[in-house]
Each structure stands twice: as C-alpha cells, then as structure tokens.
Amino acid sequence: MYRLLIADDEMIERKVLLKTLRGNLEGQCELFEAKNGREALEVYEKEKIQIAILDIEMPGINGIQVAEKIRESDKECCIIFLTAYDEFAYAKKAIAVRVLDYILKPWDEKELMLVLEEAMRLAGKREHHLEEGKEPLEKKSAQKMAESLNVVDTEMTGMNENLRIVKVAEIIKEYICANYMKDLSVQKMADMVNYSEPYFCRVFKQSFGQNFTSYLTEYRINMAKKMLEQPTVNVKDIGKMVGYEDSNYFTKVFKRIAGQSPTEYRNIVFREN
C-alpha cells in the first residue's frame, strides 16, 4: 500500500478530503493527516510518505516550505499542492519545488482522483526501480524533449496578456495532440513554454477548465476509445499506444473515466454496430 499524507489546517476540508480518499482508495493507500506544516514534516519522516497533498497556505510552516524540506531528502516523493485560485501568485515561490500538479479549491473529485492515480503510478515505478537495484530516477540524466517549442519569441512580443494566453493555449493543445503518447508532465510543459510551474497551471486551468493531469488523461482515454472502435487493433496494445506501459494501470484509468473496462467498451460498440 502507498503511504499518502494530507496536510491542511482547515479541519473540515481535511476531513472531507480524507473521507473522499478512503472511499476511492481503499486497499491502495494508507492515509495520514496533519493539521499544520510542522506536523506534516513529522509524519513524513516517521511514516516515509510517498505521496503528499499539501495545502499551500498553512500557519507557521506553509506547504511550500514543507515541500522544500521534503525535496532536500527525497527527490521523488509525489507532491500535490492544494491552492485557492488567488494564491497562484504566492505559489510562484514554489518554482524550485518539482510538483506533480496543483489542485484548485474547491477541488473536483474526478480531477483529484486522476492526479492521485498518476501519483500512485509514479510511486510504484520508483519502488520497482529500487527493487531492481537501479539508480534512483532523479539521478538519471534527464533527456531533452525531442520537440521543443520556443513560444516566448519575438512573434509574441507586444501582445497583451489575454492574446498571449490564447496563443500559448493553442500551442499547448497542439503539442499535447502530437505528443500525448509520450511521458509528459507539468514540469516539462512549463519548461516548454518558459513559464513557472504554478503560472503554467494557472494558465492551463484558465484555458482548458481543468488541471493538466486530468486533461491529458482524458485526452489519452478518448484516443483509446477511437482505437477500440477499430476491430483490427489489439486491446493490449492500445494502452501503450496512448502512453501507458502498464496494461493494468491503463485498464484502471480507462474504467475510472469511462465507467467500464476497455474490453467492455469495445464489446458495447460492436453490439451497437
């Protein structure tokens, strides 16, 4: 079971989140809670937390400071920030802290669970590497993105902010369409458009109405559905074709979004036709 920490000083919000996760992650995660940043660090150290959901605005030690402390000893802990929309400017201080995603309050259960599914996948991948005696992921040489886009160029100089965001959103959408099957992340996408991660997440949410992880996941599953409607394409191959090496994980994510397994979806499509 994965070890997941929720740190939020608002007791009601923390308890609601805990209840939601217990209902969705039973048997998959052991859940821990902390009511402030200092307690969060204590729980992290004691329980060897793998996934941390941190409210940014907490008294004393805030969520960003907690994340910075975690990063000093653990480069691969999956960190997810909870933040109110108007806290994004404050979140710019988190530029040096690599996070999986930013979830806006009030959070959407579907988006939250898609981010956590990805967090569990990454945590499992790390465990697998450690068991095989491979180098920790953070020590591997990071490869440059094969296709890099320089969107902050002279063409966009002088644009007002709204036009600039529209242009950037178009480029992001085109890039995802062309590269959804690859290993994309908030960090890579933010680097691509020369934004800080918090600002990228704010622009993405503003432009697409959901966070990056849930958008990418839904896009991949929609592409998988199209492939499933083609009888000559093997179901087992489709997961890899849309970016999921683990077929069990692909089935799990597909079912969360579509409400049925890939095979069930294909059978229904063929029966209707």
Indicate if the pLDDT at residue 144 is higher than 70: no
How many separate domains does the chain show?
3
In terms of domains, do 160 and 204 share one?
yes
Query: Is 83's pLDDT higher than 50?
Result: yes
Of residues 3 and 142, more confidence is placed in: 3
Span 91-126, pLDDT tens digits: 555 556 788 998 988 899 999 999 999 999 999 988
Residue at which a domain ends, from 104, 137, 170: 137
Domain containing residue 264: CATH number: 1.10.10.60
Query: Band of the pLDDT at 195, cuts 50, 70, 90?
Result: confident
SS (H, E, C) 151-202: CCCHHHCCCCHHHHHHHHHHHHHHHHHHHCCCCCCHHHHHHHCCCCHHHHHH
Report, as an integer, the average pLDDT of 165-187: 93
36 with 79, same domain? yes
- d(C-alpha 261, C-alpha 257), whole Å: 10
pLDDT tens, residue by residue, 26-59: 999 999 999 999 999 999 999 999 999 999 889 9
pTM reported for the whole predicted model: 0.85
Residue 132: is its pLDDT beyond 90?
A: no
- Of 183, 214, 245, the last residue of a domain is 214
DSSP state of 108: P
**SS3 assignment, position 71:** helix
Residues 265 and 199 in one domain: no
What does the pLDDT read at residue 137? 47
Domain boundary among 214, 232, 260: 214
User: Can you give the residue range of the structural domain that contains 101?
Assistant: 2-137
pLDDT band at 208 (very low <50, low <70, confident <90, very high): very high
| Mean pLDDT computed over 250-267 | 95
